[in-house]
Structure 1
Amino acid sequence: MSNVLHIPSYLSAEHLGPWETFLVQIDRVEPHLAAELRPLVPILTRPMRALIVNVPIRLDNGEMAHFEGYRVQHNLSRGPGKGGIRFHPRVTLSEVMALSAWMTVKNAVVNVPFGGAKGGVRVDPKGLSPAELERLTRRYTSEIHILLGQDKDIPAPDINTNEQVMAWVMDTYSMNEGRTAMGVVTGKPVSLGGSLGRRDATGRGVFVSTAEAARRLGLEIAGARVAIQGFGNVGDAAARCFADAGARVVALQDDSGSIANPGGFDVRAVKAWRLEHGMLAGAPGAESISADDFWATDADILVAAALENQITAANARQIRARLITEGANGPTTPEADLILQDRGITVIPDVLANSGGVTVSYFEWVQDISAFFWSEEEINARLERIMREAFSAVWEAARQKGISLRTAAFVLGCERVLTAHKLRGLYP
């Protein structure tokens, strides 16, 4: 592949937002798709449906506040929409559109019967009381209710949302429907139809995909040095999996700062410190470092599990890891992607690496519909099997076509989506 970043003529080269990043990815993939599917590519470059809603709530002090919310359904050719809801002060329509599109590809890569969707509210939830957060969640759910349903669109947790938020979403939808509808969301508390193993599923999938890549690259996980950006649900679960497998987590970064320990952290102790003190600095065995030093950490594996656009042209040349795993959605810009390829660094793309969450969400959805629940051991075994099969298919496609893992994953996912669209045809 050329090391020159090709920007489609209809995009601005000055700034690529999340949606523009997705369009560049599709533009790169198109030449590798089956010839009979290429005329259908415009289906992927437009979201099927986008809803923008006003979310007014009464604050605890009696004043009214307004927040902007979104729910985007990118493509439903392979099944109902599936994708999380995030509460974040920088949520934009471009971001939610891109996230919904990546969900379309991701669901197809692991071959679960869902289309792509995503939602979000532009809000800093840390500034809301628990009662205000509940009112925000319930009002937002009511506003997007027309799109939701266990056979239409099934939300899940994402950044700054959790099991409790999903319980409020499910209850609000159920009250409006006049019946209990557990299957309308995933990532719920186990006592409300949630699945065992769901909380750690994304991080566990990150570990499984990394282990599969490491094996093929001749890199032993036991003793490997791992740097993890993002120490929320995904980064924490991944860190525990790596540590339990004998790897050394030597650097961590979140929105509070960056820390390092060449000998490796006790990641559970660091998590306990973070929960108690609200920051990584000062954790047992931690040396505070700069953000630049984090990217230059002497590590074998780098896990990017924070937000999109974290690995850029500005820091991609500093990275010393042999293997990068994208635990977040869209953490690598297109320009940085080419730099990493030129440097021979293997990148496991987000649509493959972080698909463990939606895979176990699929398990939860199936369990809710059938009212029959599996053990955590069964969940983890099924998750690992699906992740390994998906990784093998992507790796083999990359090897046969001489393309990157990202391009191979997009080829596999996009061809499945476009084939479904072609078979269904157009109505009316």
Structure 2
Amino acid sequence: MSLISDIVTSDLYTQQLKKLERVSQILSLENDVIESLSQPERVIQVKVNLKGNDGRVKTFIGWRSQHNSALGPYKGGVRFSPNVTQTEVMALSMMMTWKNSLLGLPYGGGKGGIRVDPKSLHRDELERLSRGYVKAIYNYIGSDIDIPAPDLNTDPQIMAWFLDEYIKVSGKVDFATFTGKPVEIGGLSVREYSTGLGLATITKVATEKILDGIEGKRIIIQGFGNVGYYAAKFLTEMGGKVIGVSDSKGGIITENGIDPEKVLELKKNGEPISSYEGKKVTNEQLLTWDCDILIPAAVENVINKTNASQVKAKIIVEGANGPLTADADDILRRNNVTVIPDILANSGGVVGSYVEWANNKMGDIVEDEEAKKLIITRMEKAFNNMYQEHEKKFSEYDFRTSAMAIAIERVVRASKLRGLM
């Protein structure tokens, strides 16, 4: 059964469908089950008209995709991007379903987005747009229905606007409806770095299984935003050696090791990463540079059939969502490159959100240090569970197949028990 030819898709969605089909065949799932998993339960499209400070009315289109709720309320971020599409949001919501299932979280998968360049808006315009989005979807969200969080170009301040508008229009004072909030209104400071912490934790436990530990291992990180910076910081503290980093403008290689704090200071001062001492490289060169561990933490599909055969890393840990295409997976597997998939590697953010959500539900009783330990423990447990299942049932396949198989099996079992399939 092919899901792809009959559906108009974005590239990311096509890649996710290919991966779903491959794993579904391994699990011998029925065609109707595969069809059900391939489509979100609901996609909400909204239009927000905004009168700008120049007096002109601007129209913005947004979406909320709710992929699957068999395991619990939908959970996933909201991104603000000029390039976001409905099918991209659908793909990301599917990935959130697998991610939450794999981590053993009581959630289904959701994702949202507004097609906007937030840098083009004044702060008050951005606030009105954020509030307009929530006003359009508030009937479909809630702490037991769908729990949005920050994503690309959204932050705690936007979550604060989301929350305040939700309370106003719904009449429900429910702080657990959103995660990634400011600390003053129920957020946890650990949430800022939870994705990077989780990514570093997974990298460390993976190297203990595959490369005899993280100490001294040469690491390259493509993308030096929040996730890339914190991953570099924690991996350096764990004993790894970050030799290369980059942003959208290019990168740097320094074999003696890079100080993440100094790179961050350059970025804060508006200077390019390439001004750091070392060899200037393009992002394309960075991805194929000799190293032990490669962490693509920027955008999707950067490793594909055109460059996968040139990758020299022994392990790839996916910090971004979908940085490898299905074709790249095949090539890397043949070349004995181990890939730790995104649905496991970058799930520290949703684990941090889970801790925040549960803390709000319980009345804010968790301290930050305890929250940090909970994230590390959950990430280590998820990797070890996946590794054991891989060795026992899926050893002839790669880790992505194993991780997706575990996640999909759990969703299918829950769906059948509930009578949804």
TM-score bucket of the superposed structures, by smaller chain: over 0.9
Tell which deviates more after alignment, 384-393 or 150-159.
384-393
RMSD in angstroms over aligned alpha carbons? Answer: 2.0
Partner of 2:288: 296
Distance in structure 1 (CA, Å) of the matches to 2:82 and 2:29: 42
Distance in structure 2 (CA, Å) of the matches to 1:45 and 1:145: 25
1:79–1:115 contact (8 Å) kept in structure 2: yes
User: What 5-or-longer segments of structure 1 have no aligned partner?
Assistant: 1-6
Partner of 2:301: 309
Corresponding residue to 2:336 among 344, 353, 374: 344
What displacement does 1:12 show?
8.6
1:380-391 map, 5 Å: 380-391=372-383
Distance in structure 2 (CA, Å) of the matches to 1:265 and 1:365: 35
Partner of 2:250: 257
1:287-325 CA distances to partner (integer Å, 9 max, x unpaired)?
321222211222111111111111111121221110111
1:327–1:354 contact (8 Å) kept in structure 2: yes
User: What 5-or-longer segments of structure 2 have no aligned partner?
Assistant: none
Q: Secondary structure at the match of 1:83?
A: strand
Whether 2:136 is the aligned partner of 1:143: answer yes
Structure 1 residues 279 and 56: alpha-carbon distance in aligned structure 2, compared to 1, 3 A threshold: farther
What displacement does 1:256 show?
2.4
Partner of 1:3: none
Tell which deviates more after alignment, 165-174 or 289-298.
289-298
Partner of 2:411: 417
Partner of 1:21: 15
Structure 1 residues 14 and 420: alpha-carbon distance in aligned structure 2, compared to 1, 3 A threshold: closer
1:18-71 CA distances to partner (integer Å, 9 max, x unpaired)?
1111111111101332x5777523221111000111122121212111111110
AA matched with 1:95: E
1:245-292 CA distances to partner (integer Å, 9 max, x unpaired)?
122211112222222212111101101111211532313x24321222
Structure 1 residues 423 and 175: alpha-carbon distance in aligned structure 2, compared to 1, 3 A threshold: same
1:280-291 map, 5 Å: 280-283=273-276, 285-291=277-283
What displacement does 1:13 show?
12
Moved over 6 A (4+): 12-16
1:232-243 map, 5 Å: 232-243=225-236
What displacement does 1:377 show?
1.9
Partner of 1:67: 60
Partner of 1:114: 107
AA matched with 2:39: R
Whether 2:399 is the aligned partner of 1:373: answer no
Distance in structure 2 (CA, Å) of the matches to 1:178 and 1:388: 40
1:390-417 CA distances to partner (integer Å, 9 max, x unpaired)?
1112112222222111011111100111
Distance in structure 1 (CA, Å) of the matches to 2:302 and 2:14: 16
Corresponding residue to 1:404 among 370, 376, 398: 398
Distance in structure 2 (CA, Å) of the matches to 1:267 and 1:349: 24
What displacement does 1:94 show?
1.1
Tell which deviates more after alignment, 402-411 or 217-226.
217-226
1:37–1:419 contact (8 Å) kept in structure 2: no
AA matched with 2:34: V
Distance in structure 2 (CA, Å) of the matches to 1:226 and 1:10: 36
AA matched with 1:70: W
1:196–1:375 contact (8 Å) kept in structure 2: no
Whether 2:89 is the aligned partner of 1:96: answer yes
TM value normalised by structure 1: 0.94
Structure 1 residues 50 and 198: alpha-carbon distance in aligned structure 2, compared to 1, 3 A threshold: same
Give aligned pairs, total.
419
AA matched with 2:153: N
AA matched with 1:152: I
Q: Secondary structure at the match of 2:48?
A: strand
1:343-362 map, 5 Å: 343-362=335-354
1:37–1:418 contact (8 Å) kept in structure 2: no
Q: Secondary structure at the match of 2:309?
A: coil
Distance in structure 2 (CA, Å) of the matches to 1:14 and 1:77: 25
What displacement does 1:219 show?
3.7
1:196–1:379 contact (8 Å) kept in structure 2: no
1:91-124 CA distances to partner (integer Å, 9 max, x unpaired)?
0111100000000000000010000000001111
Structure 1 residues 182 and 88: alpha-carbon distance in aligned structure 2, compared to 1, 3 A threshold: same
1:41–1:418 contact (8 Å) kept in structure 2: no
Whether 2:163 is the aligned partner of 1:170: answer yes
Partner of 1:159: 152
AA matched with 1:112: L
Distance in structure 1 (CA, Å) of the matches to 2:283 and 2:71: 41
What displacement does 1:384 show?
1.4
